[in-house]
Amino acid sequence: MKLVVDEVLCAGHGVCEDIAPELFALDDSGIAHVLIEEIGEEHLEKAKLAILRCPAEAILLIP
Ligand code: SF4
């Protein structure tokens, strides 16, 4: 599964980084970037939680 942050939608709340710092990091502009693009089963649960909690609905999982 490919993990993607839509940088246009991202509003920089940092919720994703709080939930999964191994998957997301905010840059100096406060925009989130993914640290692992192709995630395996071991990261799926946290990725889905970040998707649910992202206030901007800016995180996508692409099969
Ligand atoms: S939770 Fe969503 S809006 Fe906030 S930094 Fe992460 S991707 Fe961006």
Q: Ligand 1: distance of its center to the CA of 12 in Å?
A: 5
Q: Ligand 1: distance of its center to the CA of 45 in Å?
A: 17
Over residues 41-58, the pLDDT tens digits come to: 999 999 999 999 999 999
In this prediction, residue 4 carries a pLDDT of: 98
60 lines ligand 1 (CB under 6 A): no
In this prediction, residue 10 carries a pLDDT of: 98
In this prediction, residue 13 carries a pLDDT of: 86
Q: What is the 3-state secondary structure (H, E, C) of the chain?
A: CEEEECCCCCCCCCHHHHHCCCCEEECCCCCEEECCCECCHHHHHHHHHHHHHCCCCCEEEEC
The CATH number of domain 2-62, selected from 3.40.50.300, 3.30.70.20, 3.40.50.720, 3.40.630.40: 3.30.70.20
Query: Which regions in the chain score pLDDT beneath 50?
Result: none
Domain ranges (residues) in the chain: 2-62
Q: Ligand 1: distance of its center to the CA of 14 in Å?
A: 5
